Structure 1
Amino acid sequence: MPKVLISDKLSDAAVAIFRDHGIETDFEPDLGKDPAALKARIGAYDGLAVRSATKATAEIIAAADNLRVIGRAGIGVDNIDIPAASARGIVVMNTPFGNSITTAEHAIAMMMSLCRQIPEANASTHAGKWEKSRFMGTEITGKTLGVIGCGNIGSVVASRGIGLKMKVIAYDPFLSEDRARDLGVEKVELVDLLARADVVTLHLPKTEKTANILSAERIRLMKPGARLINCARGGLVDEDAVAEALKEGRLAGAAFDVFAREPARENPLFGLPNVVVTPHLGAATAEAQENVALQVAEQMSDYLLKGAISNAINAPSITAEEAPLLKPWVRVAEVLGAFAGQLTEEPISALEIEYVGKVADLNLKPLTAALTAALLTPQLGAGVNMVSAPVLARERGMQIAETRRDAQGAYGTYIRLLITTPAKTRSVAATLFSDGRPRFIQIKGIGMEAEPMPYMLYTVNTDEPGFIGALGMKTGEIGVNIATFHLGRAAKGGEAITLLGVDEPLSAKVLEEIAALPQVHEARALVF
């Protein structure tokens, strides 16, 4: 029978679930705090259940000779080296919906505490003072609440704000107008939100696109006297800039549960009179702890005993019987989703996925889920997986349609994705070659054949003589080594597409130089 180690504090009920399934379980809630001891022990286990104290680093994973699954009781997987786990074939699972209510409630509690100065008033009264006139509060009724990130947690915060008679405005690139109406919020751009909101609260994952989303420049755009709340992730906000704005009186207050560096022993916000801080307590309720513990225990048990994968960060949710047939096509779906997700910044209202030929005979649910997860990941972060992606898509008002078609065209069997946004419809198609690897076969209606590479340059350009030479010279000048080169055009002298496989990631400066070529209309870096 498999053997599981629980190296963090989890509910006793989780231990009972493992043992009821016949899984040998060692519950050592303090072991995760000692990396050396964990490294020495981990080799004996098939499963590792953690919260946030255990750091499943590449070094720990390298010593895990028998490990098949890591289960994170919670959403964030920052403490797990996902690439290292993937390289060793270790499935990483999380529990994306177990603590949404708890985190949302904490944000509301922080807002109330901040507006009524409850922590300071509490400390003063405990000290035997009676400073009633000192703690003049602010009502939230009728105020404007700005929610940055209106997904699973943000939508709960929005509903609570509406219940408190606040006007709620929201910024979320994936929030559709229909979904906004259903929630009762006004969808706005980030600059508008910052200018209007009396209270700004963040509910975003930390990704390359969201890191430092509230920079010093954007904090200066906030409404004078506004209050800022971050119960999402550290690193979303320039904490030094917030401290400066508070000292200057541009902001009336701030409440932070998460910080750029944790544990936070020192921080520019600490000690300021108009700041409420807590030690990452968003998910710290008995109910949330119980929910995520039970969920992770069930998921890990199902995987270890049946091969079923749920809420996986780095693996598709497919049954053992379906795996051999679906696995290569899951990769095709992921490539299509990743391509479109990296190029689409507007809210997506609809996805239409055409399954043509033999692939149409397969179970389409995991393929559509894999495609949707890859599509959402550039905006929402690595926590998106095949189980959560359909829910997240529905929350954002995306309509997803699947179409099965008989074999047609030169390739016979392929998957074609069409994305609809308020501005345009984008299409891309890919198939599976006999070598088992995906190939793009059509982009924006333009036929081309290109194998996805880890790092790629995508350009939309004018088809005219000299472009290939100009692009080659420019990449040579800036030290970009080309591995593959693929071209396609709609018509002579019209719009053309270039896909280059390159050896290294492309920096923003490199993209600027390529975009400056007179023939280039758009230049993007892609990562697969």
Structure 2
Amino acid sequence: MHKVLITGKINEIGLKIFENDASVEVDYKPDYPYAKILKIIENYDCILSRSETAITKELIEKGTKLKLIARAAVGIENIDIDCATKNGILVINTPAQNTNSAAELTMAIILSASRNVIGAHNKMKEGGWDRHNFTGSELLDKRIGIIGLGNVGHRVAKFARGFDMEVIAYDPYLADSKFEEFGAKKTDLKELLRTSDIVSLHVPKVPETIGMIGKNEIELMKDDVILVNAARGGIIQEDHLIDALKNNKIKFACLDTFEIEPMNNAVLRSFQNVVLTPHIGASTIEAQKRIATTIATQTIRGLHDEIVDSPVNMPKVSIMEDSPVRAYSVLTEKLGVLANILTDFVPEKIDFQYRGELAHQETSLLKLSFLKGLLGKSTDYPVTFVNAESLAESKGIQIQHENDEQFSAYNSAIKIKISKPGHSFTVGGIVFERRFQRITLINEFYFEVDAEGILLSITNEDKPGVVGNVGSLLANLNINIQQMDLSRNRNDGKAMSFISIDKQLSKEAITQLKELPHILDVKVISF
């Protein structure tokens, strides 16, 4: 018998699924106080929550029987994923179950703004009429710029086309073919901000997107823009949004999510041209039924050690103890991280090539490891061995494997090429003695770089004095160089180096490096 503690309210259809399974005993305690949960969590195999309960390190460590943490929503900000993984606890969530609901809400608040529905409603409630004061705008032929063309974003694109709108989109993690499939014209962020009548955000909350719409981005927008955030709180810097509203820079702001929730910003509440909803993107009967059905079904599967559809983490990976794949899986994930940092395009194809002993192994784990590293920052939930391939497929990435005896002088090695029409990037590596990981290839540059610690990647014109200038600047910044590996490509007159340093560089230090003579690019990689 598996005991499940439910601390968030779910639709009764989910409770029925649990009730009909004799192997599960459920204690349904929605909004149960955290302090009381700590006192009883040791008795449960699973805790199922929404956003009401913080699944902290303290709670996880007190839950000595826990084998599953279930989240009846997409976001997992309230769960200590690292602690759960370290303790071998599977975490699952319910992505895509509220996609349609969130997209419909987006269109609802856009229409409310463009047709002044809220103001007209309030005036009528006060006994007024004043119909001519609420003249609005049609959506017909307006340009909507969608930032993030994922599950919700591409649904909004479909709805917008139904209103005969022009749809453009920015998503650095999506292959070009997906823009075409979703009926959106691909553009860069600045062009989207400059030219859109409506800017709608549909991005995950990750370090790259937190505060991504601030003063500079708002200044690029049209003076009569409608700005919409039905994604995650904190994507828009609310202080700068308020300034823009005060200065009449923004015609309307439509917000379903906020930096702090519940939202208590009295200034935002005071504007007549702001549409506010209390994070209700998923709050439809249909979405809640789908979420409850999914999370109940998947929780029972997870407790029975069966395959689940939406694992957030992967506590255990089983491979042969003596296989080189184990060591190479760690290196390959790092090569994926490296590819993500050193490229500025979304690949449509990934080619894996193997040499030597590695070519005779089951290498599917290496594919997943690379995708984990490459795509790890493209979502607001962890990319795992289980969901990595499906995530790549959703982004239009094709994968192929082959053995190539020519690309390396080592007995075993791996080389990976990511590409799209007009762009390609190749990275390779080797593991010595099953434990010493080395980066050996970046495009036409050959290395033997230890894949550990903090690495400074510098590409420059192959001119005298560059190494000395870099060394001097790092010394002035009190940065120690632990190791340096330089490679030259005489064909195009460029050089590339990896420098192992003892501490992180500030943004200002990186800018100083970029300003040195003959420097073409500077990136920092942390392993």
Asked if TM exceeds 0.5, the reply is yes
> Are the structure 2 counterparts of residues 462 and 314 from structure 1 closer, same or farther at C-alpha, using a change threshold of 3 Å?
farther
Matched, 1:132 2:131: yes
Kept in 2: contact 1:151–1:392 (CA 8 A)? no
Residue 322 and residue 51 in structure 1: after superposition, are their counterparts in 2 closer, same or farther (change >3 A)?
A: farther
Shift of 1:168: 0.7
Aligned residue runs from structure 1 range 460-475, under 5 A? 460-461=459-460, 470-475=469-474
In structure 1, what is the equivalent of residue 25 of structure 2? 24
* Conserved? CA contact 2:455–2:526, under 8 Å: yes
- Name the CA distance, whole Å, in 1 between partners of 2:241 and 2:457: 37
What TM-score results when the alignment is normalised by the length of structure 1? 0.89
Aligned pairs for 1:195-274 within 5 A? 195-266=194-265, 268-274=267-273
**What is the CA–CA distance in structure 2 between the aligned matches of 1:138 and 1:323, rounded to whole Å?**
65
C-alpha distance in 2 between matches for 1:446 and 1:351: 19
The structure-2 alpha-carbon separation of the partners of 1:271 and 1:343, relative to structure 1 and needing over 3 Å to count, comes to same
Instruction: List runs of 5+ in structure 2 lacking aligned partners.
Output: none
Residue aligned with 1:130, SS = coil
Q: Verify the 8 A CA contact 1:407 1:413 in the aligned structure 2.
A: no
Rounded Cα–Cα distance in structure 1 between residues aligned with 2:397 and 2:340 = 14
1:97/1:483 CA distance change after superposition, 3 Å: farther
What is the Cα-based RMSD across aligned positions, in Å? 3.0
Q: Which residue in the other structure is 1:500 paired with?
A: 499
**Change beyond 3 A, Cα 1:380–1:483:** farther
Quote how far apart the aligned CAs of 1:257 are.
Answer: 0.4
CA shift at 1:128, angstroms?
Answer: 3.3
Asked if structure 2 preserves the Cα contact closer than 8 Å seen for 1:461 and 1:496, the reply is yes
Residue 5 of structure 2 corresponds to which residue in structure 1?
5
Q: Who is 1:297 aligned against?
A: 296
The question of whether the paired residues in 1 share the 8 Å contact of 2:466 and 2:517 is answered with: no
| Partners of 1:428 and 1:445 within 8 A in 2 | no
Distance 1:72 1:190 in 2: 32
| TM-score under structure 2 length normalisation | 0.89
Give the deviation of 1:192 after TM superposition: 1.6
Q: CA deviation at 1:198?
A: 1.2
- Corresponding residue number in structure 2 for 1:75: 74
1:155 aligns with 2:154: yes
- Report SS of the residue matched to 1:133: helix
Taking a change above 3 Å as real, the CA distance of residues 69 and 463 of structure 1, as seen in their structure-2 partners, is: farther
Counterparts in 2 of 1:18 and 1:165: CA distance versus 1, 3 Å: same
Q: Distance in 1 between the 2:387 and 2:151 partners?
A: 10
Contact between 2:169 and 2:184, CA under 8 Å: does it hold in 1? yes
Deviates more, 1:390-399 or 1:138-147: 390-399
Closer/same/farther in 2, CA of residues 404 and 102 from structure 1, 3 Å limit? farther
Amino acid at match of 2:185: E
- Contact 2:429–2:438, Cα closer than 8 Å, also in 1: yes
Decide whether the 8 Å contact of 1:346 with 1:422 is kept in 2. no
Letter of the aligned partner of 2:85 in structure 1? S
User: Could you tell me how far apart the structure 2 residues matched to 1:167 and 1:39 are?
Assistant: 52
Question: What CA distance in whole angstroms lies between the structure 2 residues aligned with 1:525 and 1:72?
Answer: 34
Asked if 2 retains the 8 angstrom alpha-carbon contact of 1:316 and 1:386, the reply is no
- Percent identity of the aligned residues? 32
Aligned to 1:174: 173
Q: 1:189 maps to which residue?
A: 188
C-alpha displacement of 1:275? 0.8
Query: 1:92-151: CA deviations, max 9, x gaps?
Result: 332222221111111111111111222232333333333333322221112111111112
2:278 equivalent in structure 1: 279
1:165 Cα shift?
A: 1.0
Matching residue's letter, 1:5: L
Unaligned runs of 5+ in 1: none
Q: Given that residues 198 and 226 in structure 1 are in contact (C-alpha distance below 8 angstroms), is that contact kept between their aligned partners in structure 2?
A: yes
Q: Please tell me the residue identity of whatever aligns with 1:507.
A: S
**C-alpha displacement at 1:379, in angstroms?**
3.9
Q: CA deviation at 1:52?
A: 1.4
Per-residue CA deviations over 1:296-321 (Å, capped at 9, x if unaligned) read 33334333322646533332796x57
Q: CA deviation at 1:381?
A: 4.2
Q: How many angstroms apart in 1 are the aligned matches of 2:383 and 2:203?
A: 12
Q: How does 1:476-495 map to 2 (within 5 A)?
A: 476-490=475-489, 495=494
Provide the residue aligned with 2:55 in structure 1.
Answer: 56
The verdict on how the C-alpha distance between 1:467 and 1:244 changes in structure 2, with shifts beyond 3 A counting, is closer
CA pair 395-162 structure 1, distance change in 2 beyond 3 A = farther
Which residue number in structure 1 is paired with residue 508 of structure 2?
Answer: 509
| Distance in 2 of aligned mates of 1:521 and 1:347 | 21
CA distance in 2, matches of 1:416, 1:248: 54
- Residues 351-409 of structure 1 show CA distances to partners (whole Å, capped at 9, x for unaligned) of 22224444445555453234223212234444444454444434443333333456974
Q: Residue 412 of structure 2 corresponds to which residue in structure 1?
A: 413
Deviation at 1:5?
2.2
8 Å Cα contact 1:428-1:444 kept in structure 2? yes
- What are the superposed Cα offsets for residues 273-292 of structure 1, whole Å, 9 maximum, x if unpaired? 01111111111122222323
**Distance verdict in 2 for CA 1:63–1:179, change over 3 Å:** same
Cα distance 1:265–1:403, how it changes in 2: closer, same or farther (>3 A)?
same
